[in-house]
Structure 1
C-alpha cells in the first residue's frame, strides 16, 4: 500500500479534485478511455463516508471553512490523504471505508469533519480523504511527522488486511532495513518499456516516438529523464539506461543494420558468381557447392554481425540485482553481532 498526506489552504479545490472527473479530459475522451481500459472515467468518484458534513462541493467547502474559522492561527486547515492498493489487490467498499476511518484516527481527526472518496478511474483501488484539521472546539490537529506517520499507517493496514507488504520510504527505515532489496513497480515498468523499445527501433527519433506512444515524455540534456502519465520523473540512469548507454545501443544497431545490408550484398554477389560455374555433372555440382560454402565462410560481415548481436544482447539485459540478504541481517549474523557487543567478562563464561 502506498500512502500520501498533505496539507493545504483551499477546501474547495481539494474537495473539487476528489469529487469531480479529471478536468483535462473531454466527455468524448472519458468515453473512449472507459471503453479502452474498462474503467470509470465519467463520474469516477464515489463518496464512501461523510462525517459531520454533507452536501455538494460548495456546501461541503462552506461547512469546512466555517469550522476552520474557529482557529485564528491555522494557515493550512486542509488535511488530504490518499491510500492506494498494490496492483491486483482489491477490497470491498466497506473495508475501504474502514481504512479511511483508521487514517483519520491515526492523524487525530476522527471527530472532525471529513469525507472518504473512492476513485474508479485507475486499475489500482485508491481512496482520498479530505479532513478538517480544526475541530468544533477550535483545536488544530498536528501535521508534524506526517510522512513517517503515514508510512507507519500503511504498514499497519497491510498486516491488518493481509495486503502486500512493502518497505517504508528510506528516511523512516533503520540502518538494517535500508539494506533490504526494494521493488519499485514504476521503475521496473519503465526499465521494461525502454528495453523493449530499444529492441524494436533503429535510431533516437524512432525511440522517442515509440516511448511517447507508451505515455512517456523524454527530457534529453546531459542525461535523459522520462516523465510518465502520472507526471513522475525518473532518470534513465536510475533504471540502468543512461543516455550514453541508449546512444551506444542505437549506434550498435545502426552498425548492425549496415553490416547485415553488406552481408546481403556479399551473398548476392557470391550466388551470381557461383551461377556462372557449370553444374552438369555430379563432380561439377560438388565443386560448385564447395566453392559457395568457402566463399560464404570468408565473409568478414558474418563475424561482425555475430559480435554486434552478442554485445547488444549484453547491453539490453536487465541490470543485475541481488536478493542476497546481508549476513548482518541473518539470524546467525545477529547472534554474532550480539556476542561481539557483550562485555568481555560475560563472553568468557
Structure 2
C-alpha cells in the first residue's frame, strides 16, 4: 500500500477528477462516471436529474467552510492510496482505512469524501478532505506528512492483513554511506557559488539532486531514490548552517568600508547578507566623540559671547544718547 498526497485551493477540480473520467463519455454523450462514492463525512449529498452527483453543490460546501479560515490557502487535502497489482481490497476495508487516516491526520470531524477507482490494474481509492473544520480551525497539519503517511501504510497493512509494499515515498538514509559522501562533496562544490537557497536548488537539480525545504532541509538523489536529511549528513549541512555558508567566496573584503551589501536575484539589496568590516574599536572612537563634544561646547560659547556683545552694544548706545541729550 502506497500513499500519495497533494494539496489544493479548489474543491470542484479535485472532486471532479475523482468522480468523472476525463476522456470517456457514456451512451448519452455525457461524462462517464469512473469514481464510486464509498463514504462521505459532514457533507450533504445531492444528485442531478441524470442521477450523477451534483459536484458544484459538494464543492460549494467545502468553500463555505474554508472561508472561515483565510490564512490556509490550500485547504483541500487530496490523498490517494494504491495497492499492489492483484491484491483485492473490499469497499469496507477501504472505508475503514479512510476513517483511520482521518483520525490519525486530524480531519476526523471535517468534510471528506472517499472515492474508489477501478480504471487501473491495481486497486486504489481517493480521499478529498477539507483541512478546515466548522470552527475555522486548520486541524490537518502537513508537518512531516511524507514520513507519517509511510508509517501509516505499514500500520494499515499489519492491521488489515494486507500485502506489505515497498514504499516509493522518501526514506531517509544514514550519513555513513558512499552516497552521503558524494552528496556532501556536491553540496560543498556549489555552495560557494550560490547566494540563495533557490540558486543552490537549481544547481543541485542539474546534478539530479532534488532539495526539499521545510523546517529543515533534505536532499533526494533522483537516480537512486535515496533521501538524506541535511542534519544527518552532518551538522554543517543543516538548513541554518547551509544558509550561513551560502556565497562565502563571493564576499570581497573592502578595507575602509563599513558595509558591503550583496544583491540578490531581484537586484535589491539583501540585508541578511550585509557584511561589516574594519569596525573602529572603542579606543579609536573616543577621540571622535571628544571632538564632537568640544565642537558643541564651542558652538554654545560663541552663542553666549554673541549675546554678551549685543548687551554691551545696547548699553553703549544708551550712554551715547544720554550725552547727546
Per the shorter chain, which TM-score range? Answer: 0.3 to 0.5
- Higher relative helix content: 1
Q: What is the TM-score of this pair, normalised by structure 2?
A: 0.48
Q: What is the TM-score of this pair, normalised by structure 1?
A: 0.45
